[in-house]
């Protein structure tokens, strides 16, 4: 019996369909894409120029009735409309001809025929546009602008629905008979409900015209065929224009109907691989198609980077707003002033006197201050070991029990004794003590307030938060003797100087790229800038001009901080426990004093005190451009996803390519020419039948190579296993040995591709398909890892993806030793260790300090950046270095 195959849409039919698109359809698609590209720039507003605004329609602006379907609001809007409208316009052109389509789609055309001037007023966009304008402006008295080719989509769908109704009047849903002509109307309703910012009225106007055209009432608008033939004959359009559909050439379905099946029916007496479809197996063997995956891969990279660069523009970013109504930022009057300033000065004098005292002596004094304010006080000892050093200290904290609460929720105010730079936080600690005394006088608190003073800004906060949530490691970290309820938020004060300040710098980056809820950030910005008149900055952008350059620089700085995954302040230790936290750092010289800083914190705590539930309404994944502008995950995520997709595309391409015959095998399989009148060898052919049509297909095009996966999988798995070595070494080496260890590792890394390549080729020389499979598996894993990582740490995924781009296009060049050696050395420039060294030099720190910080993050903070670098990025780089030096051998076994 013959092999039975189900109808399916193959790449062969897609390629054939695209190549057969008629002329006008191609032009329409090209114009849509071109106008979207032009619309990216900001000098000329394309949407404002060509969109359909009812109040703008006049004799001088009638062009809008023809241009609005060609202009789109963004890339997604454009590509979806192109996909939807292409088969419909192509079908219409195939039925009516290119000239008729041009007249009906693109505006007012005129022809001269024996002195007669015939004006054809356009139908498919002008008449629906005028209908929309009349109803919107004349009846509703509105001026809602519309744009996009969806009006053509629904017009042509209505035309097709009427045709279908004549042959198949109804379709059944359950027991209900529904007329087929209602299908476009149902689709309009669904789109209006599901897709925001769609024009229901505009779509209905398009449907109304489409039904009129399909029923034949508006066919008089089409130009007469006699005139069209005269124009075609005079201008010889059929001979001059490729893909032109003339009046005499047009036939229904000439281009618009795809075949239902393209799989050949293989005769039963033919021996062939089970389930093989020749069109699918041979498509990518054609030279034009072979070039497509690398081009798609390159486009993914270019579009991904371009997408990122577009984010700072107003069209792609949004102004910040507070989603949680209960916060009410800046809606309360603050009273922190007057005599409290004298209390602050007294505490600051005491802190200055304790500057050189031991941690225990400092906590003895601080405990006395907290107890004098009427608070319950406790201490916690901790000790961490990392990179051969010991980090030990003692935290002291006090709890203000809420007069109106039940000790189920708490807010934390943190003031580390020394900040991230190791400087005494004199004003910060003094302000914590002053606010503790001040808050105790008020009876409005519904949540407990915890005042925490840690010995440092790195280990101390982490030890306290871990112990609060009972995830600490005993006995190195003590348990907390006193606790309160679930932590709702935390604010850290980093105020090391004693002079007046100009603005407020907000630090919000957490460990492993995690971020606090955006509502907390927006609340502080609203209070500081709106209520207190204090300027706000972020990412150390001390002077922000709101220009594209400053927005881009702020965004990139935030991405680098999130990509590194380290703690940027004491607040970072709270975020992994879903406790929203930020650090406030006054900077500059201005007229703001410590009282203004205290009022900002008081108002912030008053807002957090209003919460009825944990912050959840706003975003946890975002990129900030400035204090009042951000980009959400739905807008920026495609950038990293596109870069990761490029690896997957090339992995699939290399997998398919590994099943092709090699160049030597193709040369042997060619039909030998006849010599002396005798044919030496003929190429074996196979009779293939499809829908009554028969063809002879070369049997070599149907052959499938057996893929030998053991060696490629062993190489990739071995390289990933090697990644555990630097992960372990750099996290368990003492600080003094880190620089020489890194130098030794970099030297060995330089030789590693040569050593591995030599080892592999001396024991089991891989064939070219096996090298393709090795690269395919490596890229597939890299693309999978980065796609998953992009949803957790977008910045790290994008950065590693961009540094790994050269791995996509490397090829085995072992037969050219000089070129392969040169490329292997060039590949060293994007190696993880090289990037690490360059980054350390850029920031002016030693590589030993960077590795020490990374080891501390691994041991204390739970930082996972090292895992991604050494177990994902570095193995992919090693595989790439081995592939560049690869010398394809000859397979010993026959296929």
Catalytic residues: 150, 203
Distance CA 274, CA 276 (A): 6
To which H or E segment does residue 626 belong?
strand 622-626
Q: Which SS3 state, helix, strand or coil, does residue 637 take?
A: helix
Residues 6+ apart with CB under 8 A from 750: 828
Tokens of 10: 């193959």
832-835: long-range pairs with CB below 8 Å, 24+ = 832/869, 832/870, 832/873, 832/874, 832/877, 833/742, 833/745, 833/746, 833/749, 834/746, 835/803
Residues 6+ apart with CB under 8 A from 521: 320, 506, 508, 582, 624
How does 579-605 read in b/e, with b if 16+ C-beta sit within 10 Å?
bbbbbbbbbbeeebebbbbbbbbbbbb
Q: Which of 90, 99, 122 is nearest to 229 (CA)?
A: 99
Tokens of 247: 């009046």
Residue 882 φ/ψ, nearest 5 degrees: -65, -40
Q: Judge if the upstream peptide bond of residue 475 is cis by omega within 30 degrees of 0.
A: yes
Please list the residues that pair with 767 across neighbouring strands.
Answer: 889
Altogether, the residues listed in the chain come to a count of: 895
Residue 631 φ/ψ, nearest 5 degrees: -130, 130
Tokens of 691: 């829908």
Q: Which SS3 state, helix, strand or coil, does residue 542 take?
A: coil
Distance CA 812, CA 33 (A): 37
Per-residue DSSP letter, 870: I
Tokens of 121: 């007023």
Distance CA 133, CA 321 (A): 35
Per-residue DSSP letter, 236: T
Q: Cα 311 from chain centroid?
A: 11
């Amino acid at each position: 019996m013959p092999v039975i195959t189900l109808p399916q849409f193959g790449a062969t039919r897609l390629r054939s369909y695209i190549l057969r698109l008629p002329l006008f359809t191609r032009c329409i698609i090209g114009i849509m894409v071109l106008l979207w590209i032009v619309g990216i720039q900001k000098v000329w507003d394309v949407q404002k120029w060509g969109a359909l605004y009812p109040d703008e329609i006049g004799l001088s602006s009638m062009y809008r009735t023809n241009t609005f379907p060609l202009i789109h609001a963004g890339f997604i809007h454009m590509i979806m409309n192109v996909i939807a409208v292409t088969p419909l316009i192509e079908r219409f052109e195939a039925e009516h001809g290119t000239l008729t389509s041009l007249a009906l789609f693109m505006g007012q055309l005129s022809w001269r025929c024996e002195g007669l001037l015939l004006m054809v007023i356009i139908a498919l966009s002008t008449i629906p546009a005028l209908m929309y304008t009349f109803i919107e402006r004349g009846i509703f008295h509105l001026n809602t602008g519309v744009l996009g080719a969806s009006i053509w989509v629904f017009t042509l769908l209505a035309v097709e629905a009427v045709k279908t109704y004549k042959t198949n009047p109804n379709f059944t849903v359950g027991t209900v008979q529904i007329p087929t002509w209602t299908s476009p109307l149902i689709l309009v309703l669904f789109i209006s409900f599901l897709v925001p910012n769609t024009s229901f009225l505009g779509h209905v106007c398009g449907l109304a015209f489409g039904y009129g055209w399909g029923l034949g009432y508006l066919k008089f608008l089409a130009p007469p065929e006699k005139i069209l033939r005269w124009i075609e004959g005079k201008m010889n359009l059929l001979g001059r224009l490729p893909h032109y559909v003339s009046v005499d050439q047009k036939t229904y379905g000439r281009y618009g109907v795809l075949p239902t099946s393209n799989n050949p029916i293989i005769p039963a007496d033919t021996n062939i691989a089970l389930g093989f479809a020749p069109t699918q197996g041979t498509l990518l063997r054609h030279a034009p198609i072979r070039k497509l995956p690398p081009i798609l891969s390159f486009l993914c990279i270019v579009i991904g980077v371009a997408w990122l660069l577009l984010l700072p523009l107003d069209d792609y970013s949004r102004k910040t707003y507070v989603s949680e109504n209960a916060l009410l930022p800046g809606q309360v009057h603050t009273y922190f002033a007057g005599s409290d300033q004298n209390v602050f000065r007294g505490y600051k004098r005491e802190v200055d006197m304790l500057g050189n005292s031991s941690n225990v002596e400092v906590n003895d004094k601080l405990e006395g201050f907290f107890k004098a304010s009427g608070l319950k006080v406790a201490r916690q000892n901790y000790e961490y070991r990392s990179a051969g050093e010991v980090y030990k200290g003692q935290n002291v904290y006090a709890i203000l029990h809420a007069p109106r609460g039940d000790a189920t929720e708490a807010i934390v105010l943190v003031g580390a004794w020394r900040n991230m730079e190791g400087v005494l936080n004199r004003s910060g600690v003094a302000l914590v003590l002053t606010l503790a005394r001040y808050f105790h006088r008020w009876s409005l608190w519904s949540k407990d307030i915890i005042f925490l003073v840690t010995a440092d800004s790195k280990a101390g906060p982490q030890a306290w938060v871990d112990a609060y949530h009972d995830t600490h490691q005993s006995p190195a970290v003590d348990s907390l003797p006193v606790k309160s309820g679930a932590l709702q938020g935390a604010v850290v004060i980093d105020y090391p100087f004693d002079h007046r300040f100009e603005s407020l710098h907000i630090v919000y980056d957490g460990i492993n790229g995690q971020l606090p809820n955006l509502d907390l950030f927006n609340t502080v910005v609203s209070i500081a800038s709106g209520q207190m008149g204090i300027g706000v900055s972020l990412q150390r952008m001390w002077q922000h001009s709101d220009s594209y350059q400053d927005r881009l620089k702020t965004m990139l700085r935030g991405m680098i901080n999130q990509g590194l995954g380290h703690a940027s302040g004491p607040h970072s230790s709270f975020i992994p426990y879903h406790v929203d936290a930020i650090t406030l750092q006054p900077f500059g010289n201005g007229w703001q004093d410590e009282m203004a800083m205290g009022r900002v914190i008081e108002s912030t705590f008053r807002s957090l005190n209003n919460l009825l539930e944990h912050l959840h309404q706003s975003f946890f994944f975002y990129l900030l451009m400035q204090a009042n502008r951000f980009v959400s995950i739905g807008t920026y995520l495609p950038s990293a996803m596109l870069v990761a997709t490029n690896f997957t595309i090339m992995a699939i391409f290399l997998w398919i390519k590994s099943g092709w015959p090699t160049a030597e095998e193709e040369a042997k399989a060619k039909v030998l020419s006849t010599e002396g009148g005798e044919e030496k060898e003929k190429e074996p052919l196979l009779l293939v039948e499809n829908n009554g049509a028969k063809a002879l297909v070369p049997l070599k095009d149907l052959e499938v190579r057996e893929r030998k996966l053991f060696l490629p999988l062993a190489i990739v798995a071995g390289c990933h296993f090697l990644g555990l070595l630097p992960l372990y070494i750099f996290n368990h080496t003492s600080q003094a040995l880190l620089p020489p260890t890194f130098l030794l590792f970099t030297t060995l890394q330089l030789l590693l591709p040569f050593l591995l390549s030599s080892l592999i080729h001396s024991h089991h020389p891989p064939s070219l398909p096996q090298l393709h499979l090795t690269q395919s598996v490596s890229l597939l894993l890299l693309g999978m890892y980065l796609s998953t990582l992009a949803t957790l740490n977008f910045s790290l995924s994008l950065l590693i993806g961009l540094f790994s781009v050269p791995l996509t296009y490397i090829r085995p060049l072992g037969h050219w030793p000089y070129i392969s050696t040169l490329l292997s050395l060039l590949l060293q420039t994007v190696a993880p260790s090289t990037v690490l060294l360059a980054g350390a030099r850029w920031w002016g720190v030693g590589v030993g300090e960077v590795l020490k910080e990374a080891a501390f993050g691994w041991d204390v903070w739970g930082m996972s950046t090292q895992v991604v670098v050494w177990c994902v990025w570095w193995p992919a780089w090693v595989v790439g270095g081995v592939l560049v030096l690869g010398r394809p051998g000859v397979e010993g076994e026959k296929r």
